Amino acid sequence: MEFKFNVNKLLPRKINKVTHTLIPEDFRGDRRELKFQRSHGIHNNPSECQRQLSRVLDDMGEASARAQGLNKPITSTLKLRDTDHVVYLLVDNEANNGLGSVVGLLKTGSKNLFMFDETGAHYQLKPRCILDFYVHESRQRMGLGNILYQHMLSKWHRILYSGKLVDGLKEERDKRLLHVGFAIEKVTRKEEDIRPVKLAIDRPSEKFLAFLDKHYGLSKIIPQNNKFVVFQGFFDDERQDV
């Protein structure tokens, strides 16, 4: 999905993490404006970066809803407010004459759920959930969805930055930052650090179910009384505690 503004400047990584603050990781604009607003409780006067990010989230959220045949988007700026939700945005940095385009979205979050295991025993849990997942129609079935999913699951990331992006990284609390030829490699902090079987999936589409079976061998569904889907193995740690 293309935008009039420079997506690469707003979202400089291949996969960019966004939370309710609407400040992307590695944001390279003026943070003082954002800090001032936060410390003065100003939430109704978003910065340009927040306005642009808002546009990306709302447009991608609507495209995802259309792709799933939903009336209302699962992902929007408004819905991100006051939540622990994390949105991962996948960017094609080369697209749109070098301005970049947003090609994928994955949203996670924790939910209080009343759940049943295979024996009918019930649990009150707050698992990490997959709430929304979308890859642009022109890019589906090329492995991009799994790149996004793998990133979300992982503990550490190795990120390659071109020289010109490095300036904005100086203040980062990096685990490690080292030169690799002309690029800079950064090993950054963990994402969800979770096994695929431990995630609850909010109303998965047929495509997503096929995706989980293909990439993670998840096919044995444990029926629930709500719209969430979990697979065999989800309750294994719970049972050890009993």
- Least Å distance, CB 55 to ligand ACO, is 20
Alpha carbons 4 and 222: distance in angstroms, whole number: 45
Scanning 8-16, 37-45, 198-206, 220-228 for contacts with ligand ACO by CB under 6 A, the matching segment is 198-206
User: Which one, 23 or 103, has the nearer CB to ligand ACO?
Assistant: 103
- Least Å distance, CB 142 to ligand ACO, is 5
Alpha carbons 155 and 172: distance in angstroms, whole number: 18
- Least Å distance, CB 189 to ligand ACO, is 24
Cα angle: 194, vertex 12, 171; to 5 degrees: 80
224 binds ligand ACO (CB under 6 A): no
Alpha carbons 224 and 123: distance in angstroms, whole number: 11
Alpha carbons 180 and 209: distance in angstroms, whole number: 38
Residues in contact with ligand ACO, counted by CB under 6 A, come to a total of 24
Nearest partner of 191 among 132, 108, 103, 110, judged by Cα: 108
- Least Å distance, CB 106 to ligand ACO, is 8
Scanning 8-16, 144-152, 156-164, 230-238 for contacts with ligand ACO by CB under 6 A, the matching segment is 144-152
210 binds ligand ACO (CB under 6 A): yes
User: Which one, 163 or 217, has the nearer CB to ligand ACO?
Assistant: 217
Sheet holding 15-18, edge to edge: 15-18, 86-92, 101-110, 128-135, 200-202, 228-231, 221-222
Encoding tokens for residue 57? 């989230």
Encoding tokens for residue 239? 């049972």
- What SS3 state is found at 106? strand
* Cβ atoms of residues 114 and 52 within 8 Å: no
88 binds ligand ACO (CB under 6 A): no
Scanning 38-46, 81-89, 165-173, 208-216 for contacts with ligand ACO by CB under 6 A, the matching segment is 208-216
Rule CB under 6 A: choose which of 19, 93, 110, 140 binds ligand ACO.
140
Rule CB under 6 A: choose which of 32, 72, 141, 173 binds ligand ACO.
141
β-bridge partners, 115: 123
Alpha carbons 170 and 174: distance in angstroms, whole number: 9
211 binds ligand ACO (CB under 6 A): yes
Sites of contact with ligand ACO (CB under 6 A):
67-68, 130, 132-135, 140-146, 201-205, 207-208, 210-211, 214
